[in-house]
Amino acid sequence: MFVVAFEVSGDIYNLPDVQSIVLAERLRNYAKGAYPEEVKWAVEVSGNGSWAEGALAAADFIEEALVGNIDTPIPLEGKAAEAAFWTLRLLPGIGEGSETADSAALRDALGVSVPAPPAAA
């Protein structure tokens, strides 16, 4: 099993290749405008209509790591972190079993650095 490592705020999170592939594919799809209902929900919850702006770059880096062109942890910050967080939040089944525990840990770590939704008026 191949593992892709991510760095968030100095900590390293490892995702198995299957989870990394799913994350990269979904990031790429969001960047292309796929799944409009999911994107709309994330915009409503986050208050940020541009949360997917870093999705394509994040997907590209994950895919480079999957083919062995990157062998160091991928730093997730800024727009890439926000896109990865919302993508992991939108993926069904994350955190519901031991096979997705690594993705849930990465999502939760990213959630600390992603801007909080605006307070209700």
For 18-49, write each residue's pLDDT tens digit. 999 999 999 999 999 999 999 999 888 888 88
What confidence score (pLDDT) does residue 117 get?
A: 64
Instruction: Please check the confidence at residue 118 and state whether its pLDDT lies above 90.
Output: no
Instruction: Please check the confidence at residue 119 and state whether its pLDDT lies above 60.
Output: no
Confidence of residue 99 (pLDDT cuts 50, 70, 90): confident
Q: Report if pTM > 0.95.
A: no
Element housing 74 (H / E): strand 74-75
Cα dihedral value 29, 46, 86, 91, nearest 10 = -80
* Cα gap 46→37, rounded to integer Å: 14
